[in-house]
Chain A
Amino acid sequence: MSDAALLRDADDLHRLTRKPESQWQIVWRNFKRNRLAIVGGVVVVLLYLIAIFAPFLPIQDYAQLNSGQRLQPPGAEHWMGTDRQTRDVFARLIVASRISLAVGFVSVAIIMVLGVVLGAVAGYFGGFVDNLVMRVTDVFLAIPQLFLLLAAAALFTPSLRTTMLVIGFTSWMGTARLVRGEFLRVKAQEFVHAARSIGASNVRIMVRHLLPNTLAVIIVQATLWLSFAILLESSLSFLGLGAQPPEPSWGGMLADGRRDMREAWWMTTFPGLAIFITVLAFNLLGDGLRDAFDPRQRRR
């Protein structure tokens, strides 16, 4: 047995003699052991800080032109070079993080509301309602999401607001299925029968008793969907149907850079790296949270 494992066992023994931990303490203890998840979490926090404080950072204005500095390679003055319009790529990259994170945040809020409400109603009431909701879910799952996204984004006027709404309304299905499964599982337990026997209403049982028990699934789903939503937004912007110029977005910058790929590698490389790092961080965080919440993973 390694030293670390010995220490961990001593730690566990010590814990037995103290008052029992709350669920959140257990989750945090499990989460802390996963180094990759910690890294993901730190990167996510940094990204949000950068996005929130972008206007106060000592960077150029993203729209400022630097005359005579067209397509400059990365250097001391412009860390990530300049684009065809002589704008600073680094500054644009920072400002674009606001768009990605904001789109991610709003679309995930929509996904969670739709997914949780539909999943909860289907799982709790069962029967016809369940069947109806689940078949609608099947229908939406059968359409390739990018087809649906592109069609909707093109048919309505392409804009950030459209992007958020469209991603939200085409991504709730997986969450609905998972939440339904959790509601089905939990509603069969005795404390739910007990609540009903003392006259609790359906809404009260769902909100006060079942919802807290599905919180783990919801948190993990929300984290993972933040990464998918950011990926979808950048795909849409790349295809010209998401954020519209002059608003800087990572996908849009990649589309710009594609035209100058032969002369300016930095314009395609850095925005892609930004998307990649963001998505990776959210995935690591989400995966770590899933493991931390899952009782079967404990003591791994």
Chain B
Amino acid sequence: MTAQARNYILRRVIMLIPLTLGLSIVIFALIHLSPGDPALAFVSEQNADPRVVEQIREDLGLNDSLPVQYWRWLSKVATLDFGVAYTFNRTPVIDLVGQRAWGTIQLQIMSLVLSLVIAIPIGIISAKRQYSAIDNAATVGSFLGLAIPNFWFALMLQLLLAVQLGWLPSSTAGQDVRWPDRGLYYIMPVLVLSLSLVATFVRFMRSSFLEVIRQDYITMARAKGLDERTITYRHALKNAIIPMITIIGLQLPRLLSGSVIVETIFAWPGLGELGYRSILSRDYPVILALTLLTGVFILVVNIIVDVIYVLIDPRIAFE
């Protein structure tokens, strides 16, 4: 590793500290500037005794000034203590997140792998036969893929595959299903999450490959008589695929946004569904924890992506 590359990586990692602090301030401010009263989430009746509500506010520390509340929250968060949820039987937030993280991660990884497996070959073929029927079909297809709302796609799949044809279970009501039958529950959520990813990846892979095959070293390879296969897979593909790493990192927030929709529709026990339910019940500790953790996760993944990029292509560090 060159000194430039090392400095670059170090700079990126140090940058993580102010970014995380900024993130925590934005999220904290958003939640505490809103007009709703979280204390009301505890009282079931509509006309609760004001004294009871006041007591709850006192217990939760909601009567302190905002900077005090922020500091208290931050110093706990630093030790991964997000407090207990207001709802969900008052389970510690970190346990809730822990129980559900795996469900979301499974879906994300499966959709990422599936979309890459589909999109990379299509992108390459598209680029190699620019303006052919296949290329036009791929372009139109990716336009359609980006325009179909994911929640509508989910409903249409449910309508067709579960309601009409009865091939797949419509949602994840029974979690105790054993493998391999359990695999059936994954199909629709993964398809829905993959839709816009495939479209994005195809378009990106195509333009990246087009750029690479116009370069001199490819002409050189052709001039010295290498066959098309070797040029495509040994010479062009390696360079064309590097920018894809960045795009994968950039798609992550969208993928997590998608999991809110998908997990809610398919009743999937994951972080997206947890987020949606905690938002509906104004469960502040859960909302704070989820938004902060996903934010930090995305920042870290993007740094890892950049580091991988620099290790593969050290020219970046000099820019």
**Chain A residues packing against B (C-beta within 8 Å):** 36, 135-136, 138-148, 150-152, 154-157, 227, 231, 234-235, 238-241, 251, 254, 257-258, 261-262, 265, 268-269, 271-272, 275-277, 279-280, 283-284, 287
Contact = CB atoms under 8 A, between A and B. Distances in A.
Given A135-B22, A147-B294, A142 B279 contact: no
B254 A280 contact: no
Interface residues of B, number: 48
B22 A234 contact: no
A33 to B, nearest CB: 14
B19 A139 contact: yes
Interface string B22-64: 1100110011001110000000000000000000000000000
B213 interface: no
Contact of B261 (A36, A138, A235): A235
A147 B149 contact: no
Interface stretch (B88-96, B155-163, B233-241, B311-319): B155-163
Contacts of A157: 35
Which residue, A151, A265, A283, has most C-beta atoms of chain B within 10 A? A151
Contact of B299 (A142, A227, A262): A142
Contacts of A275: 149, 152
B19 A276 contact: no
B260 A136 contact: no
Contacts of B34: 152, 155-156
B69 interface: no
B253 to A, nearest CB: 4
Given A138-B19, A154-B282, A238 B151 contact: yes
Nearest to B301: A142
Nearest to A152: B30
B180 interface: no
Contacts of A143: 23, 26-27, 253, 291, 294-295, 298
Interface stretch (B78-86, B109-117, B120-128, B140-148): B140-148
Contacts of B149: 231, 234-235, 272, 275-276, 279
A135 B158 contact: no
A140 to B, nearest CB: 7
Contacts of A231: 149
Interface of B: 15, 18-19, 22-23, 26-27, 30-31, 34-36, 143-144, 146-152, 155-156, 158-159, 163, 253-254, 256-258, 260-261, 264, 275-276, 279-280, 282, 287, 290-291, 294-296, 298-299, 302
A284 B140 CA distance: 10
B298 to A, nearest CB: 5
- Where chain A touches its partner, the secondary structure class is helix
Nearest to B163: A262
A235 B260 CA distance: 10
A155 to B, nearest CB: 3
A145 B156 CA distance: 24
B148 A276 contact: yes
Contact of B276 (A138, A141, A150, A279): A150
A140 B253 contact: no
A9 B264 CA distance: 56
A142 B23 contact: yes
Contacts of A151: 30-31, 279, 287, 291
Contacts of B22: 135-136, 138-139
Given A261-B163, A272-B156, A144 B254 contact: yes
8 contacts: A142-B23, A147-B291, A148-B30, A150-B276, A152-B30, A155-B36, A261-B163, A279-B146
Nearest to B25: A139
B158 A283 contact: no
Contacts of B146: 279, 283
A227 B257 CA distance: 17
A152 B33 CA distance: 10
Given A138-B299, A227-B147, 13 more contacts: A135-B18, A140-B26, A142-B253, A143-B253, A144-B257, A146-B257, A147-B291, A150-B260, A150-B279, A157-B35, A231-B149, A261-B163, A284-B143
